[in-house]
Amino acid sequence: MIERKILKKLNDWRISKDKKALLIKGARQVGKTTSIREFGKQYYRHFIEINFEKTPSAREAFAGNLDAKTIILNLSAMGYGPFEKGKTLVFFDEIQSCPAARTAIKFLVEDGSYDYIESGSLLGINYKEVSSYPVGFEEQIEMYPLDFEEFLCANGVSAEVIAQLQKAYESVTPLPDFLHEQIMKHFRNFLIVGGMPQAVMNFLSANDFEKVRRVQSAILNGYRNDISKYAGSEQPLVKQVFDAIPEQLCKKNKRFVLADLEKGASQRKFGDATQWLSDAGIAYFSFNVSAFELPFSFSEKRNLYKLFMLDTGLLSHISLKGIQFPVLNGEIGINEGALTENFVAAELVKHGISLNYYDKKSRQELDFIFPERNRISIIEVKSGNSYTRHASLNAARNAYPNRIQRAMVLSKFNVRRTEDVIYYPLYMTMFM
């Protein structure tokens, strides 16, 4: 079993006062159901799981009155239970397939007899009509694929080693070369395997990249099926954007250019389709910021953006055939560093950092910028050997010395500091 960080969040929710229902959102196959099952069986005497897609008949329990007593009576008559006050967790899985159950959460929470967790794909949750959302009765958490720290733990790297890595990050001191090289091996594996739990489990059990690829292929096919199921009239455009992400990330500047999709393509035509992928949790926007000042919202241009995939392993599978061997042997800069920049983007999102890049009239482009302590921190991603060459970063340091909190370069090399620039290994994104 892979240990996930979300289990701590679930336990914090369990022991909280004035508990609401908990909605776990996330793209398909990121491990929501498995984590909730593990949590429920560990901390509750009774764990009741109701999957509205696997058992459509369960929806009938919510077809009439939505008061708590009636619903629990209906579920009990269907064979769900036992329901013991204060010692039962009820898990509504694939909640998007029963909008009435989402509406009923208000009344179930008000009753206070049992704890409730809901889960479903972002696709269904965002695109299914609910007659009345349980505002004030529902807490929401978004779940993502494994981050790199979780991947290290799954590979047997001890908490003591991770603590040593974090100490080096915080003190900006180099790691022993042997340790750095060992973690870089795990990092290169992560670029290919990614963080989708089933792919990770197949990698750990068999160390077979072909099995990993089969899992990744199934996940991608599932996403395409969901596009067909939920995207409605936007379906052809959504698929067009989805299939274009890898090619666009393999360009030098990584910016998603609609004109590359078809002649005369416009934001008006493709905007909803692109937003749909973001709402589904399949892709992450990184919006352009044209002024190096806070707040970014004043100069953010939402018609200029990069589009990253939720998982670097899926990106490597969908676009970069035959790259496993070169990447595993150190060539992480393949295809203009698409994998490394996508890795950084996905790690930042998993740690609650919004994605923006700086580019003013195609000059001084900075890969990532984010607010930190009322100033701006910069990340430049370097996948090759010339990681100390960073003209745009130097220009920003010279132009805005009082606005910069940290200027960082992420590369395959060990920790070091030169003047006002901090050089971190790419894997240390996990501590940001």
**String of DSSP letters for 273-310:** HHHHHHHTTSEEEEEEE-SSSS-GGGTEEEEEEEEEES
Q: What is the mean pLDDT of each run of 10 residues along the chain (432 residues)?
A: 93 95 94 96 98 96 95 97 97 93 95 95 58 79 97 97 98 98 97 97 91 95 88 90 93 90 88 92 96 96 96 88 79 85 98 94 87 97 94 94 97 95 98 96
The pLDDT of residue 354 is 97
pLDDT score recorded for residue 186: 97
Asked whether 311 and 195 are in contact (CB, 8 A), the reply is yes
Tell me what pLDDT residue 156 has: 97
pLDDT attached to residue 129 = 58
Q: How far is CA 172 from the centre of its chain?
A: 27
Q: What is the pLDDT of residue 266?
A: 87
Alpha-carbon gap, residue 356 to 367, rounded angstroms: 8
CB 89 within 8 A of CB 115: yes
Three-state DSSP state, 108: helix
Query: What local confidence, expressed as pLDDT, does residue 323 receive?
Result: 78
What residue type is 390 in one-letter code? H
Here the tokens at position 429 are: 């994104």
The pTM (predicted TM-score) of the whole model is 0.93
Residue 329 β-bridge partners: none
Long-range contacts of 255-262 (CB under 8 A, 24+ apart): 255/288, 255/304, 255/305, 255/306, 255/359, 256/305, 256/306, 256/307
Find the helix packing angle between 177-193 and 334-350, rounded to 10°. 90
> What's residue 320's pLDDT?
62
> What six digits make up the tokens of 58?
């369960």
